[in-house]
Amino acid sequence: MRAWEIISDGGVDALALNERPDLEPGPGQVLMKIHASSINYRDLTTIEDPVSRKLPFPTVPNSDAAGEIVALGAGVEGMAVGDRVASCFFEDWPAGPISAAIMNTALGGARQGVLAEHVVLNAGGVIPIPPHLSWRQAATLPCAALTAWHALNQPHPVRPGETVLLLGTGGVSVFAQQFCNIMGARTIVTSSSDAKLARMRTLGAAETINYRNNPDWERDARQLTRGIGVDRVVEVGGPGTLQKSISATRVGGHVALIGILSGVAGTVSPTDIMRKSITVRGIYVGSRQMFSEMNAAIAHHRLDPVIDESFAFEDARTAYHRMREAAHFGKLVIDVS
At residue 18, the 3 state secondary structure works out as strand
Q: Considering only the stretches 17-25, 79-87, 289-297, 326-334, report the one whose residues sit in contact with a copy of itself under the rule CB under 8 A.
A: 289-297
Q: CA-CA distance, 186 to 57, in Å (whole number)?
A: 45
Asked whether position 143 contacts a copy of itself by CB under 8 A, the answer is no
Angle at the Cα of 31 from the Cα atoms of 30 and 35, rounded to 5 degrees: 125
Asked whether position 161 contacts a copy of itself by CB under 8 A, the answer is yes
Among 115, 138, 205, 257, binds a copy of itself (CB under 8 A): 257
- Output the smallest distance, CB 313 to a copy of itself, in A: 32
Q: CA-CA distance, 337 to 47, in Å (whole number)?
A: 22
Among 10, 26, 75, 157, binds a copy of itself (CB under 8 A): 157
Asked whether position 239 contacts a copy of itself by CB under 8 A, the answer is yes
Q: What character string, x for contact with a copy of itself (CB under 8 A) and - otherwise, covers 97-116?
A: xxxx--x-------------
- Output the smallest distance, CB 286 to a copy of itself, in A: 10
Q: Considering only the stretches 41-49, 79-87, 191-199, 261-269, report the one whose residues sit in contact with a copy of itself under the rule CB under 8 A.
A: 261-269
> Nearest 10 degrees: CA dihedral of 239, 141, 301, 195?
50
Q: CA-CA distance, 53 to 79, in Å (whole number)?
A: 34
How many residues are given for the chain?
Answer: 337
- Output the smallest distance, CB 159 to a copy of itself, in A: 5
Angle at the Cα of 32 from the Cα atoms of 29 and 36, rounded to 5 degrees: 145
- Output the smallest distance, CB 3 to a copy of itself, in A: 27
Among 186, 196, 288, 328, binds a copy of itself (CB under 8 A): 186
* Alpha-carbon separation of residue 143 from 65, 81, 90, 127 (angstroms): 10, 24, 9, 13
Q: Considering only the stretches 13-21, 34-42, 59-67, 299-307, report the one whose residues sit in contact with a copy of itself under the rule CB under 8 A.
A: 299-307
- The count of other CB atoms within 10 Å of the CB of residue 157 is 13
Asked whether position 184 contacts a copy of itself by CB under 8 A, the answer is yes
Q: CA-CA distance, 32 to 87, in Å (whole number)?
A: 9
User: What is the sign of the dihedral through the CA atoms of 296, 299, 305 and 310?
Assistant: positive
- Output the smallest distance, CB 267 to a copy of itself, in A: 4
Q: CA-CA distance, 307 to 311, in Å (whole number)?
A: 11
**Residue number, 132 or 300, with CB nearest to a copy of itself:** 300
Q: CA-CA distance, 200 to 196, in Å (whole number)?
A: 6
* Alpha-carbon separation of residue 169 from 115, 154, 247 (angstroms): 25, 21, 20
**Residue number, 99 or 202, with CB nearest to a copy of itself:** 99
**Residue number, 176 or 280, with CB nearest to a copy of itself:** 280
Q: Considering only the stretches 35-43, 183-191, 194-202, 324-332, report the one whose residues sit in contact with a copy of itself under the rule CB under 8 A.
A: 183-191
SS3 per residue for 115-153: CECEEEEEHHHEEECCCCCCHHHHCCHHHHHHHHHHHHH
Asked whether position 284 contacts a copy of itself by CB under 8 A, the answer is yes
Among 294, 319, 323, 333, binds a copy of itself (CB under 8 A): 294
User: Where do contacts with a copy of itself occur on this chain (CB under 8 A)?
Assistant: 95-100, 103, 155, 157, 159-162, 182, 184-186, 228, 238-239, 242, 250-252, 257-259, 261, 264, 266-271, 273-284, 292-297, 299-301
